[in-house]
Structure 1
Amino acid sequence: MAGHSKWANIKHKKQKEDRRRAKLFSKLSKRIAVAAREGGGDPEMNAELRMVIDKARDNNMPNENIERAIKRGTGELEGVDYESFDYEGYGPEGVALYLEITTDNRNRAASEIRHILSENGGNLGESGCVAWMFDRKGQLVLDNSNNSFDEDEVLLEALEAGAEDVKLEGEIIRILTDPKEFMSVKEELEENNFEFKDSDIVMLPNNTVDLDKSGAKKILNLMDELEEHDDVQEIYANFNIPESVLEEIENEE
């Protein structure tokens, strides 16, 4: 497992569930507000808003939170004016980083994120400096911790629905799609009683940097700090940590 997937699988062990959930809801509210402001508050007419609402519901975000965020975006409720954009750069050990940002103050966000990277052996780069190392994909995540899914059956149904690939990674199954086919694949699989743990358009690395224990500690500390920043929606990275190294680090904690 590499980069974003690796981090997604271990970050919950580093945060208490209630604190993690509150931070996630705050970030999703910002993203919903931006989507509603840019494309209108009707999810049937706004594909981006519909996708983010689905992600929020996948993560059990209360409907009243969702509705409130939509109304802030459309101006029905007073709220902060957010904007969304991407940052690219490098972490320690030459790891490529692609950050999705939603903030009410671009200058502050740039300054704070630049500081976090600098303090952890990284730096911000020019637009496009690492984007070519990632592929934009639709991703649907199934929780298979109880072995309730048969990988072959999931693969067959997903491909029939128009997915590109299915990957088994520990306790999760990831279904990958062309971004343009994401919603149609998701809807067809939901009609076949699939319930997703998470769903979104993501950036997946097309090459990876293998890390030893020292490098792994550095990048995980950086990922942790970036994750804590309120303006950082998503972090994509192209690192790979061998299971043996990850277990060694976890046993030290």
Structure 2
Amino acid sequence: MGRGPSIEARKNAQDAQRGKIFTKVIREISVAARAGGGDPAGNPRLRAAIDRGLDVNMPKDVIERAIKKATGELEGVSYEEIRYEGYAAGGVAVIVDCLTDNKVRTVADVRHAFTKFGGNLGTDGSVSFLFRKLGVLSYDAGADEARITEAAIEAGADDVVVYPEDGAIDVITAPEAFAQVKAAMEAAGLAPGFAEVTLRADTDAPVSGETAEQVRKLLAWLADMDDVQHVYSNADFGAAG
């Protein structure tokens, strides 16, 4: 199973696109609150969305306003959840999760991106079978492996993965256990540097040279779109240098 981007790379990307991140988080909060209610204590998806907002220093009043709009206390916009699947250059599988108020616009934009960078948009299920949903709590090099492993096992995590190339550690959980494990790790004084419920591929697609560059550009282009919440791929850039 391939490893995602480093914590530093993820954080740098967030800092560089603070406005866009805010847009995405507000949409996620809105959909989560509309689907499961405005109380994060009884709505794990909303709790995760609020945590993501706080992680990027979103003001609490902005978060509260988004919840009120979603629950009808304030007038707001209704967003639809849509997933697109396709292949990038080199046979790299890509999943694009969107929240949009205009499906026609979004599918046109996503299709254009795939075409522009040598890929093609597929049908539902065309690549999703290559991925599995899981919770990931990431720790940078230098973290206490023994303490993390012991606490993770006690908290109910599925696995602890140590990456020998840099000593970073991932704690892997079932999606439904993510919030519980994260809370337990934080209570043990082991707050992760980055934590999310994500999709990871069981097999990677190595790419290099011009193909790798095309794939990078497609993934970046998609991630930069306001309607796009998450982009997942099985690209392995290890051979690209």
Note whether the superposition's TM-score is higher than 0.5. Answer: yes
Please tell me whether residue 160 in structure 1 is matched to residue 159 in structure 2: no
Residue in 1 that maps onto 2:137: 140
- Measured at CA, do residues 11 and 179 of structure 1 come closer, stay the same or move farther in structure 2, by a change above 3 Å? closer
CA contact (8 A) 1:96 1:238 kept: yes
Taking structure 2 as the reference length, the TM-score comes to: 0.90
Distance 1:135 1:164 in 2: 14
Give RMSD over aligned pairs: 2.2
Q: Which moved more, 1:179-188 or 1:58-67?
A: 58-67
List alignment gaps of at least 5 residues for structure 1.
247-253
Residue in 2 that maps onto 1:222: 218
Distance 1:39 1:132 in 2: 27
Residue in 1 that maps onto 2:118: 121
CA contact (8 A) 2:95 2:128 kept: yes
1:13-57 deviations in Å (ceiling 9; x for gaps): 6x583x422211210110000111111111112221112212222
SS for the counterpart of 1:207 is coil
Distance 1:46 1:222 in 2: 33
SS for the counterpart of 2:231 is strand
- Say how many residue pairs are matched: 239
Q: Detail structure 1 runs of 4+ shifted over 6 Å in the superposition.
A: none
CA contact (8 A) 2:2 2:202 kept: no
CA contact (8 A) 2:100 2:106 kept: yes
Distance 2:176 2:81 in 1: 20
CA contact (8 A) 1:59 1:197 kept: no
SS for the counterpart of 1:126 is coil
Residue in 2 that maps onto 1:65: 62
Distance 1:205 1:55 in 2: 23
Identity of aligned residues (%): 36
Residue in 1 that maps onto 2:45: 48
1:188-234 deviations in Å (ceiling 9; x for gaps): 11111222333222111010011112221111111111111011111
Q: 2:240 aligns with which of 225, 241, 245?
A: 245
